[in-house]
Structure 1
Amino acid sequence: MRRAVALVGLFGIIGAGLSLAVVPTTGTVAAPKPERTYLIPASDGYGVADCLASKAECGQIVANAWCEAQGHRIAKSYGVATAEDFTGTVKVAASSEAERPLVITCGH
């Protein structure tokens, strides 16, 4: 009797292993977020404005980190915002280049 129970258990384990090997594994993947542009005040307090504004090597790293924090994969572009990027969206238009907000466009 013990052998019969052991054999049934063994065949059950083998059958379960085979069925798991045959079943396709499908993982759930989040849909990519659409491209989005963010305006960041030049005086945000983090000290990253120089990197983003000057297109220095650190700018791509900072822009990518910003996009990842917002749920995107990479930064497609970054730099100082043009007047068309922020006119009408902020209370007071920036008068000098140093006061203009920064822009980061994130994508997937």
Structure 2
Amino acid sequence: MRRAVAFVGLLGIAVAGISLSIMPMSRPAAAPSEQRTFLIPASDGYGVADCISTRSECGKIVANAWCESQGFGKAVTFGIADRADFTGTVTKPTPAAAAEQPLSITCGE
């Protein structure tokens, strides 16, 4: 009786292992033509605002890394977000409000 139970248990483990090994590995990825814009607070604590807001080479690296972490290929555009994108208004910002504007990263292929 013990051998029969052990055999059934071993057979179950073998079947489960085989089924898990032949299952396709899926990775969440965006559709190839899909683009998405992310708004990131300028005071996020990581210090990436200087790179992204000046559109320097380090900004390109940070934006591409952000897009890759979200399942996209690379950054299409990045920089300071347009006020209409996050408030729905187009009035001129004050200098203090400009410092608080979020960063924008648009990810694509």
Q: Structure 1-normalised TM-score? A: 0.63
After superposition, residues 38-53 of structure 1 pair within 5 angstroms as 38-53=38-53
Q: Extract unaligned runs of 5+ from structure 2.
A: 1-25
Match of 1:99 in 2: 100
Deviations along 1:3-22, one digit per CA (max 9) or x if unpaired, are xxxxxxxxxxxxxxxxxxxx
Match of 1:18 in 2: none
Give the letter for the 2:63 counterpart.
A
Give the letter for the 2:82 counterpart.
T
Contact 1:81 1:102 in 2 (8 A): yes
CA distance in 2, matches of 1:86, 1:78: 15
Q: Extract unaligned runs of 5+ from structure 1.
A: 1-27
Count residues with an aligned counterpart: 77
CA distance in 2, matches of 1:76, 1:105: 5
User: 1:80: how far off?
Assistant: 0.3
Whether 1:68 and 2:68 are equivalent positions in the alignment is yes
Greater C-alpha radius of gyration? 1
